[in-house]
Amino acid sequence: MNRSLNSIIVLVTFLTILSGCGQEQPPVEQIRAIKTITVSEQADTSTRKFSGVVMATDYSQLSFEVGGNVKSVSIDIGEKVREGQQLATLDPTDFKLSLKATQADLARAKADMVHKRIEYNRELSIFEQGAGSQRQVDRTDYNYRAARAAVKFAQAKMKLAERDLSKTVLEAPYDGQIALRMVEPFMEIKAGQEVFRIDAQGSMEVQLGVPETVVNFLDVGSAATIKFPSTLKKKLAGEISYLGSAAGDDNLFPVKVAMNSRPETIAPGMTAEVTLELNVDGRKKGYLIPPIAIIPIVENVQQGYVFVYIPETSTVKKIRVKLSGGQKNLGIVYEGLNPGGVIAVAGVSFLADGMKVKLMKSKNSPLKEG
């Protein structure tokens, strides 16, 4: 009896264990740990730094005025050229044939004009002698004048053919240096297709783009400082020579900064860092934050999103901010953040508005940690 009772107890215990194993355990909530900083460091609103490209102040995009097959290219990128120097040629065969055809047309038109003049003079002489008719004189006079017009037309066609033949040779318009070459022998090109870009010798400038939040605080003639990280350690003085009135496809306004001097080590195509002085009267203060904290907005490069930590609920809130350039390799936010706010600075692409998080402290943050 005791043995049977023990067997029943063991069986019940085993079934209870199996029953417990089959029940689903409640899921454990995973709370993401985020790295944060406290918004505190203000940006210097009197200057802005932008990257630009050195360009010759005067340059030209060269192209053939006629289309055809490229016969030769006698110059390469980076080479210096003199005014009138031959750069490239087109196959002149078709243009020579066209010129011969117009010359033949002109000879035929001249012969016809001589014939029509003889007819007119004969009819006029007969009429003056009391024979013939005025109608016949008028008809031959009309034919003669039409033949003269045909000669002028043929002469014009021949001049155009001569001009087209001369345009098969592309020459340098002035002394300079070949900055771009986009042509090779045997290429078929169209009239007006760019084949070279030539930079004139002389002054240079830095071309760059600035956002709409900055362009209204710039003036033509304002001072600028230019630095070339790859070449010169010292800075060069410059001034704004051009401010664009319309933004480009990237929503940036074109700006040109003239260089007051031209060191021999500086050449077109080099990158430059330009510090612009702003007219800051009434300008809002900005705060510096790491670029990794910003989720960019594709359709508007001057705006983005950041996640602000809400301590009362231990959640993050997605905030839209406005940007204005950068300093110290940090982005400048001039609208959307307040000093003392705590923002996420790592893994922001994995966060969502209202997500519950916990703070992760780090000793290597470039700014004050939250």
- What integer pLDDT is reported at residue 278 of this predicted model? 80
- What integer pLDDT is reported at residue 131 of this predicted model? 86
What are the φ/ψ torsions at residue 120 (nearest 5 degrees)? -65, -45
Low pLDDT (below 70) residues in the chain: 1-29, 43-45, 232, 280-285, 301, 325-328, 361-370
- What integer pLDDT is reported at residue 249 of this predicted model? 72
Which amino acid type is present at position 155?
Q
What are the φ/ψ torsions at residue 172 (nearest 5 degrees)? -70, 130
Cα–Cα distance list, 27 to 22, 107, 356, 358, 361 (Å): 15, 100, 16, 19, 27
Cα–Cα distance list, 187 to 63, 76, 91, 172 (Å): 13, 16, 11, 20
**Mean pLDDT score of the chain:** 85
Residue 284 DSSP class: P
Tell me what percent of the residues of the chain surpass a pLDDT of 70: 85
- What integer pLDDT is reported at residue 9 of this predicted model? 53
Side-chain half-sphere CA neighbours of 137 within 13 A: 12
- DSSP of 103-162: HHHHHHHHHHHHHHHHHHHHHHHHHHTT-S-HHHHHHHHHHHHHHHHHHHHHHHHHHHHH
Burial classification of residue 195, based on how many CB atoms lie within 10 Å of its CB (0-12 exposed, 13-18 middle, 19 or more buried):
buried
Beta bridge partners of 254: 209
